[in-house]
Amino acid sequence: MAKLTPYIISEDSRAQAAFYISSLGGEVVSVMTHGQMGDESEANKDKVMHMCIAVAGVNLFLSDFAGHSHGNGLSLNLEFASEDEGRDAYTKLSDSGNVQFPFGEAPWGGFFGQFVDKFGVPWMITAH
């Protein structure tokens, strides 16, 4: 069984999250910056690497990354309870697609992989 969580790529995750929270009610669950993940560049150190907010009874993930245009900054994140389930889904969904990050251990714990499937849909697969 998987859980689907929208993952919004943003130019300013903190402002976007504040807007969603003020509009829908909720809270910031967690925030990790690029600097906390080892990015030592002054330009990125305080930008959001991963944020989870709870709004209107659902979780949304957000992240700051340049290079997207409005409307294409969205990835589908499937979250699995086990590495095996995540790896199986990653292997099957990424077939004939464009792999961005191979499925493997993530520096924040658990497992992660990212790709665009053969239909052009961006996916992130995570497992605990």
CATH of residue 23's domain is: 3.10.180.10
Q: Do both 81 and 37 map to the same domain?
A: no
pLDDT-based confidence at residue 44 (cuts at 50, 70, 90): confident
Give the whole-angstrom CA distance, residue 65 versus residue 74.
11
Give the whole-angstrom CA distance, residue 86 versus residue 125.
6
Which 3 state secondary structure label does DSSP give 47?
coil
CA 21 to chain centre: 18
Residue 71 has pLDDT above 80, yes or no: no
CB neighbour list of residue 72: distance below 8 Å, 6 or more residues apart: none
Q: Give the mean pLDDT of 20-27.
A: 92
Q: Do both 56 and 82 map to the same domain?
A: no
Geometric angle at alpha carbon 12, from 10 and 16, rounded to 5°: 85
At residue 82, the pLDDT reads 95
**Greater pLDDT, 121 or 68:** 121
Q: Give the mean pLDDT of 46-58.
A: 93
Domain of residue 19: give its range: 7-64
Residues listed for the chain: 128
Query: Does residue 27 form part of some domain?
Result: yes
At residue 73, the pLDDT reads 77
Whole-angstrom CA distances from 6 to 43, 44, 74, 128 are: 26, 23, 7, 18
At residue 31, the pLDDT reads 97
At residue 72, the pLDDT reads 72
